[in-house]
Amino acid sequence: MYGVLRMGSCMPYVCGLVSRERSWYRIYWHGRSRNLGKETITMGKKLEENGLFESSRMMLPEHAAEIRRHRDVLKHRVKPELDEQQLEIISRELTESYMNQSEIMIVLFDRIEDREEVGVVTKIDQQLKRVRLQKVDDWDWINLADIMRVE
């Protein structure tokens, strides 16, 4: 029976192939062997399924933050393509809000989840492809490419 036994850096000489002969474990390392005796049998059980080191797991705050950031990256969505009819509806609603000074709700694409902005369109900049949305206490420029729908 052969297997690989690897220990931590505290016992670097105990690495290599393990063979079981008459309930003794023999370690082969660079052509030499070393008898470990019967105490290895109990250590072998502690090494199964990460037994000895099961409770020694720890995570630094930096690692936890990096894991959370990585999970957020995995959740990122791709912006769907809008067809001609949807673009026409968005254009008509934006123009109507600009002409009538009526309040509209614009749903904007975001990589995590969609955002909603409510206000009145006060300027349409066709050259830079953006609209200026006047909110209750301030205004904001919104790119036309980020608009998903207008209500």
Instruction: Please report the pLDDT score of residue 32 as a whole number.
Output: 44
Can you give the pLDDT at residue 61?
A: 87
Topology of domain 84-150 in CATH is SH3 type barrels. (2.30.30)
Please enumerate in sequence order all residues whose Cβ is within 8 A of that of 101, keeping only pairs 6 or more positions apart, or say none: 120
pLDDT at 71: 85
pLDDT confidence of residue 50? 57
Question: What's the pLDDT at 31?
Answer: 45
**pLDDT of 48:** 58
The predicted pLDDT at position 27 comes to 46
Q: Where are the domains of the chain?
A: 2-57, 84-150
Residue 97 · residue 104 · CB < 8 Å: yes
The strand order across the sheet containing 32-37 reads: 2-6, 15-21, 24-29, 32-37
Per run of 10 residues, the mean pLDDT along the chain (length 151 residues) is 45 44 45 46 53 63 89 83 94 95 94 90 94 94 94 89
Distances (CA, A) of 70 to 58, 97, 120: 19, 40, 37
Predicted pLDDT of residue 79: 87
Contact 123, 141 (CB under 8 A): no
